[in-house]
């Protein structure tokens, strides 16, 4: 195993730092951003209301069909 001085290691890191950061940023943009903070209670209520409205519109337009007591068919766009 090769021995290395700490100052040499620091110098190598500084030389490759910009390239490494560029690669990380490129890969980060390709991936979907993950939500890291909890939703605001108002945001939760708004999203729930939007989901209910979307469901009611689908039922009214005939996109949702009740096949039996426990099965539904939802025609996705």
How many domains would you assign to the chain? 1
C-alpha count within 13 angstroms, C-beta hemisphere, residue 38: 3
CA distances 61 to 8, 32, 47, 58, Å, are 69, 33, 21, 5
How far is the C-alpha of 47 from the C-alpha of 51, rounded, in Å?
A: 6
Residue 55 counted as domain residue: yes
Band of pLDDT at residue 54, cut at 50, 70 and 90: very high
Q: What is the pLDDT of residue 51?
A: 95
Per the model's pLDDT, the better-predicted residue between 1 and 69 turns out to be 69
Residue 1 counted as domain residue: no
Range of the domain at 34: 6-74
Residue 31 counted as domain residue: yes
Q: What is the pLDDT of residue 48?
A: 97
CA distances 65 to 57, 58, 59, 74, Å, are 13, 9, 8, 7
Band of pLDDT at residue 31, cut at 50, 70 and 90: low
Q: What is the pLDDT of residue 43?
A: 94
pTM, full prediction: 0.49
């Amino acid at each position: 195993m090769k021995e290395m001085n700490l100052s040499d290691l620091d110098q190598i890191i500084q030389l490759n730092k910009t390239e490494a950061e560029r690669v990380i940023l490129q890969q980060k943009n390709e991936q979907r951003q993950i939500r890291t903070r909890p939703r605001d209670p108002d945001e939760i209520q708004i999203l729930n209301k939007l989901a209910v409205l979307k469901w009611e519109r689908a039922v009214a337009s005939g996109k949702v069909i009740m096949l039996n007591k426990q099965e539904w068919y939802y025609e996705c766009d």
